[in-house]
Amino acid sequence: MRRNPRDLQRYNASERLNHWVVGICFILLALSGLAFFHPSLYPLTQLFGGGPWTRILHPYIGVVMLLCFLIMVIRFAALNLIEPRDVEWLQNVGKMVDGDDHDMPEQGKYNGGQKVLFWGLVAGMLALTASGVAMWRTWFHLPVDLVRIASVVHAAAAVWMIGLIVMHVYAAIWTRGTIRAMLYGTVTRAWAKQHHRGWYRKMTGDNS
């Protein structure tokens, strides 16, 4: 893809790699987890070499995703702290949905919706990790009643995470020019000025 040298860098190569590793792990975990969620979905285990291999691989893929997700949290947590302007943005999100985003409050690198999504994913990951550890009988031997509760929590957290990721993907497709940021690392100045004016000002020094 041909890019304008005046484009702004939104993500470096390391950040993009980190994102895609987490994303791929999540897809693998969703497919392998759904395979055990309902008998009709059990054929999905064939993607991983059958039922036994699916059961073995699922938690280890989860560990990889957790470690990479922790790196993302370290990198981006400070940028996702909720500010008053984010609350105002969320209160006016209806305008954004209607496509009238020109009067939305000025946003930094991430808007209010992205920040809520980020912390929602953090909460979901904590629930998945805690419940997943309790269920991992190969390494941990907790009381059966606790494992049963963990199984319910794990399923609920998985549904929560899948829902948030679907929203994340939809928003990225709906806001034209967003996906290229995670593919190539850059966005146009026009895109930055329209969607993240505060970040645009910081990157360019343009106060117009």
> Residue 101: which of 176, 166, 165, 168 has the closest Cα?
176
* Angle CA 60–65–66, to nearest 5: 95
Taking the CA atoms of 87, 92, 198 and 112 in sequence, report the sign of the dihedral they define.
positive
Within 13 Å and on the Cβ side, how many CA atoms surround 26? 23
Cβ neighbours around 28 below 10 Å, total? 19
Q: Is 38 a catalytic residue?
A: no
Catalytic hit among 19, 102, 154, 168: 168
Ranges of H-type helices in the chain: 13-37, 51-76, 84-91, 93-97, 112-135, 144-174, 179-184, 189-195, 197-204
Instruction: Determine the residue type at 137.
Output: R
Known catalytic residues? 168
